Chain A
Amino acid sequence: DGGITQSPKYLFRKEGQNVTLSCEQNLNHDAMYWYRQDPGQGLRLIYYSQIVNDFQKGDIAEGYSVSREKKESFPLTVTSAQKNPTAFYLCASSTRDRADQPQHFGDGTRLSIL
């Protein structure tokens, strides 16, 4: 089955710790995206990548980092610089980097602070 897999489903971070959220897709999509969703809020774009070895900052990139070494994978690291990391993190992909293509989502990772 083709799709987007995010792991883990739940993650807890200690003070001063960096944590990495995994996102893998087997849809052969070129573009991948990371969003953050807070309760009662819309999705906010953290980072996106249009091709391998290239990525751009979204609206709220501070305190986060990404890499795109393989087409299938777009991991997100939440660094200790992100002071309010508790949120629902969603990874998405689309066939191209154009906005006339819908995005398809993984089932998300819930991150909380211990």
Chain B
Amino acid sequence: RKEVEQDPGPFNVPEGATVAFNCTYSNSASQSFFWYRQDCRKEPKLLMSVYSSGNEDGRFTAQLNRASQYISLLIRDSKLSDSATYLCVVPSPGYSTLTFGKGTMLLVSP
């Protein structure tokens, strides 16, 4: 299994839809995870940190399944402004750096 793997998408959804992305990781010792958002030709920005079973922030919910080694990001009531690429990030083996997934692209249409 790759260190971190994401479905590249794109996910095309209408405004108001609920969409979920999954991310699988190989380092079973990982304790912390992050979701970043990256707009086209911009830098990644931290969306959410996940240190236990999950985290919720408004319309965004991250859930962690340690047994199956995957993390999910759920976006409810999608907005046009949610269109971006979502990066799953996990600690690298040895724990001194982070490994970034290639990202899942989301396109929200009117």
Contact = CB atoms under 8 A, between A and B. Distances in A.
B78 to A, nearest CB: 23
Contacts of B44: 43, 90, 105
Contacts of A98: 95-96
B91 A100 contact: yes
A41 B102 CA distance: 6
A97 B87 contact: no
For chain A, what secondary structure do more than half of its interface residues adopt (helix, strand, loop), or is it mixed? loop
A106 B91 contact: no
Contacts, number: 51
Q: Among B31, B49, B91, B97, which residue has the most Cβ atoms of chain A within 10 A? A: B97
Nearest to B101: A42
Nearest to B105: A40
A60 B82 CA distance: 32
Contact of A102 (B34, B92, B95): B34
A42 B97 contact: no
Closest 5 CB pairs of A and B: A99-B91, A42-B102, A100-B32, A105-B43, A43-B100
Given A48-B96, A102-B46, 20 more contacts: A42-B100, A42-B101, A42-B103, A43-B87, A48-B97, A50-B96, A90-B43, A90-B44, A97-B96, A99-B32, A99-B96, A100-B31, A100-B51, A102-B34, A103-B46, A103-B98, A104-B46, A106-B43, A107-B42, A107-B43
